[in-house]
Chains A and B, each alone.
Chain A
């Protein structure tokens, strides 16, 4: 698991990149990645283009992130999951809960 985060210059957008496996070992990193981003109306993008696998704890982390974003009246986008990861999101029917962009 490898983490990278990029905040846009005007602070309107935070992008979190997660590489390799997104699982329970990512818990602390993931929280730290968005914990201090409290821009009202800001957008958080979780870029999964290099994520190879996701377990149910990771789904739980996305739900926590969703709560965080909603608290700030912001927007959440889950971007570019590969086929395996998209399948996991689909089984959990997460597109009914959040915006997933392929």
Chain B
């Protein structure tokens, strides 16, 4: 800043002229205009002086010994291009078209033909300086813009995306265009071991395209970590963007939630090209189309939107991509398109690296055509997301606490927490993250809260699905039934006007750990406890069954699990030691 200020106060001019008399006259006129003047008497010295003084203006005679004006002008222009525009004016007595054309071709910005009056000369200098000043301003703006774009890109990749989860297993293509286009890649781990992924594409370019990225990544990551469902997260992000962004700015995004344990994938695609599920041979198993306008456009999500819930094999892979890949163009203007993408992805699956093969394939297709849009893709395997989940060793460790006697209900708890939800609220509110928040606020963070989260979630969902909504879990036993189950559930949730669920927690600190009693009551019809227990005991030997696994896990985690009142009340007791 200081440099350019001082420079703009005292301007430097260079006069290259072999006649000492002309040199003197021009210098005098320039000094009257406030310039400090350097002179040179031939082209070669002119070039040397230019390099030495870096003037703001050059006046150049055409006919000179050693090196003529045209040649000197070419040399000067080739040096000055990368810095700023230094206007160069030819002074000549040759009043011919040829002289004029050659002057411009040599890089001159103007020509003055002798004889001219001092006033004409000064006017010419002023006009050329005005253009040069504008050029300087433009350059400065360009530099600011470039810095903004760099900042946006840096923010996205280094600050936001560096917090992503599971990058040793999740493949990503993140190749921003020269003009960064605001693609965002997010992954996070839910307390129940599910992985959430989001690929988003903001409208527009540069900094403008990335202002929404910070709230989106905050919401996505923190809500996932707290155990909110994908639907709740998407609803929240949509509302945030709606209130935050102007009407023409929005986020096209696809979301995936992957559960290795349940062998299911849920997809919600709002405005991106199809999201894919490939099998281990690279064949397309599912293509999930966009079913909703981009986020941030509508104040509420459309009421008839739907999640795509699919049953997967552990060897399947989920692939999210943005339109930059599909719309990459070659010299002939053709698009890379879906077919080429699917072929490349197939080869990628077979060779064990989708990102690499797809990128190479695009590079080969586009050759030297500059990349216009960000290239973005997230490739997530369906297996290997159980680590966060409890393992049997941990269960064994908890069970070894048998020697401490759990408190009974009549002992006074350190605290109790209760929440009852009725009717329509049941379909809108998820009490589990609230309960977990409560526990963490009062007792601090601890590893075993993950087990509590699992227990609460499984018991609550059971009470809601099979109690209040009266859904038959047998439906979930076949892959087709599985999707049907979710459709049915969605329908019933939307129509929910009656029913009640209550959740009760009491916490007892113990010398070497603690105890949490969980009671959940539902207003459903209940079930035949003995029959279900019998069925579950049969299932213990057959874990490939699709339903009932959740409850078996809860049973393993809990010190005791008792169903009462025809199954409408469940009491779980969880013990841990530090």
- B-binding residues in A (CB < 8 A): 24, 56-57, 59-61, 63-64, 67, 90-94, 96-97
Contacts and interface: CB of A to CB of B under 8 A. Distances in A.
Which 10 A-B pairs have CB atoms at the shortest separation, nearest pair first?
Answer: A60-B248, A56-B203, A93-B293, A60-B203, A91-B290, A64-B248, A92-B271, A63-B247, A64-B247, A67-B247
Contacts of A59: 203, 250, 294
Contact of A24 (B204, B290, B291, B302): B204
B252 interface: yes
Given A56-B252, A60-B248, A91-B273, 11 more contacts: A24-B204, A57-B248, A60-B249, A63-B297, A67-B247, A90-B290, A91-B271, A92-B252, A92-B271, A96-B293, A96-B302
B250 A93 contact: no
Interface band, chain B: 20 to 34
How would you classify the secondary structure of chain A's contact residues: helix, strand, loop or mixed? Answer: helix
A41 B323 CA distance: 36
B205 interface: yes
Contacts of A67: 247
B248 A93 contact: no
Contacts of A96: 292-293, 302
B376 to A, nearest CB: 13
B272 A56 contact: no
Contact of A60 (B247, B289, B292, B302): B247
B204 A97 contact: no
B297 A97 contact: yes
Nearest to A67: B247
B500 interface: no
A59 B248 CA distance: 7
A92 B205 contact: no
Contacts of B250: 56, 59-60, 63
B204 A57 contact: yes
B370 to A, nearest CB: 16
B390 to A, nearest CB: 40
A41 to B, nearest CB: 22
Contact of A93 (B203, B205, B291): B291
Contacts of B201: 56
A57 B204 CA distance: 6
Interface string B252-291: 1000000000000000001111000000000000000111
Nearest to A59: B203
A24 to B, nearest CB: 7
Contacts of A24: 204-205
Interface string B401-412: 000000000000
Contacts of A93: 270-271, 290-293
Nearest to B181: A56
B294 A92 contact: yes
Interface string B79-90: 000000000000
B290 A92 contact: yes
Interface string B203-221: 1110000000000000000
Interface string B476-508: 000000000000000000000000000000000
Contacts of B271: 91-93
Query: Most B CB atoms within 10 A — which of A24, A60, A90?
Result: A60
Interface in B284-313: 289-294, 297-298, 302
B242 to A, nearest CB: 12
Contacts of A61: 248
Contact of A97 (B252, B290, B293, B323): B293
A61 B203 CA distance: 10
A60 B202 CA distance: 10
Query: Most B CB atoms within 10 A — which of A67, A91, A92, A97?
Result: A91
A78 to B, nearest CB: 14
Query: Most B CB atoms within 10 A — which of A56, A57, A61, A93?
Result: A56
Contacts of B297: 63, 97
B561 to A, nearest CB: 44
B296 to A, nearest CB: 10
A58 B378 CA distance: 26
Contacts of A56: 201, 203-204, 250, 252
B290 A63 contact: no
A67 B248 CA distance: 10
Contacts of B291: 93
B408 to A, nearest CB: 56
Nearest to B251: A56
Nearest to A64: B248
Contacts of B272: 91
Contacts of B249: 60
A57 B372 CA distance: 14
B336 to A, nearest CB: 14
A92 B204 contact: no
A24 B290 CA distance: 23
A96 B306 CA distance: 14
Nearest to B304: A96
A100 B186 CA distance: 33
